Amino acid sequence: MPVWQSIYEELKSENFEIISFAQDTGGEAAAGPIFDAGNVTYTTVIDVNHHISALYNLVNVPSGVWIDEAGKIQRINEGTYAAVHANGAFGTDEYVPIVRDWVAKGADSEYVWDLEQVRANIFQRTPEAEMAQPAFRIGTHYFTLGNDAKAEQYWTMAQELDPTSWNYLRQDLQYEDGGSAGPAWRERRTQIESAGGTYYAPLGIEPAGAANN
């Protein structure tokens, strides 16, 4: 968060905005203090229903989308860590420099994808998986009403309808023993990765077209 704030301060005068969505069923109480601790001045939304991930077909957090001045997507669905985390186990230092390049050069940045690449990187969901969002939404509604049993029923239903979503799984695990990065999460991650899947879509940091060289 502090890294994004410093990037924002560096680039905001260049027609650049960050909109940050905290996907937290716990709402302001869960995410607000983290925004506050980062002294964040960019646009902040607490997205209790995971609305943005549903709309943009994002499967994990953190994820990022680049949108140009006309509303066209230029990159999408990447694990957008601002830095390598302290323990070195995850994160990357390679993403922030390409954001800087994009803000400076716009469509001329070598990191901007063409439409074909954008379309290829939009995660595809089955019709059944499309039902996960309204199911998750009911779960969150019950959670807000204090009905944890019904919340769990519909959050579980969302995970079953869309097993590709790390968000629905990890949000739910937060309320269980072991938390969002405990044994259940590790087991699931190992299953998916050993089957050739990925936890995040790989960061395509190499310049567009490099694969053809």
Partner 1 sequence: MKNLMGFSLLLGTAVIAGTVTAQSATVLYNERVVAIEQTLPDASDLWVTPADLTRINDFVLKPEGACLADLCIPVLQDRDSDMYVTRSGQGWFNVTGLADKLEQAHVTDYADSIWSFGAMPLERRAFFRGGEAPDFALPDRDGNIVRLSDFRGKKVLLLTWASW
What residues between 139 and 178 interact with partner 1 by CB under 8 A? Answer: 141, 150, 154, 156-157, 160-161, 167, 170-171, 173-174
Smaller CB distance to partner 1: residue 39 or 194?
Answer: 39
Measured N-to-C along each axis, helices 183-194 and 166-173 cross at an angle, to the nearest 10 degrees, of 160
**For the residues of 138-172, what is the DSSP string, one character each?**
HHHHHHHHT-HHHHHHHHHHHHHH-TT-HHHHHHH
Label residues 163-193 b or e (16+ Cβ within 10 Å = b).
Answer: bbbbbbbbbbbeeeeeebeeebbeebbeeee
Q: What is the DSSP letter of 93?
A: S
What is the nearest approach in angstroms of partner 1 to the Cβ of residue 131?
4
**Single-letter residue type at 87:** N
- Judged by CB under 8 A, does residue 182 bind partner 1? no
Q: Per CB under 8 A, which of residues 8..47 are in contact with partner 1?
A: 14-24, 26, 28, 30-32, 34-35, 43-47
What is the nearest approach in angstroms of partner 1 to the Cβ of residue 192?
19
- Judged by CB under 8 A, does residue 52 bind partner 1? yes
Q: Under rule CB under 8 A, how many of the chain's residues touch partner 1?
A: 77
Smaller CB distance to partner 1: residue 164 or 170?
Answer: 170
Query: Which listed residue (83, 103, 184, 203) binds partner 1 by CB under 8 A?
Result: 103
Smaller CB distance to partner 1: residue 51 or 192?
Answer: 51
Contact in structure between 169 and 185 (CB atoms under 8 Å): yes
- Judged by CB under 8 A, does residue 78 bind partner 1? no
Smaller CB distance to partner 1: residue 150 or 207?
Answer: 150
Query: Which listed residue (65, 83, 201, 203) binds partner 1 by CB under 8 A?
Result: 65
Among 164, 85, 89, CA closest to 123: 164
Smaller CB distance to partner 1: residue 152 or 207?
Answer: 152
Smaller CB distance to partner 1: residue 17 or 193?
Answer: 17
Q: Based on the number of CB atoms within 10 Å of its own CB, is 36 exposed (0-12), middle (13-18) or buried (19 or more)?
A: exposed
Query: Which listed residue (83, 92, 101, 106) binds partner 1 by CB under 8 A?
Result: 106
Q: Based on the number of CB atoms within 10 Å of its own CB, is 108 exposed (0-12), middle (13-18) or buried (19 or more)?
A: exposed
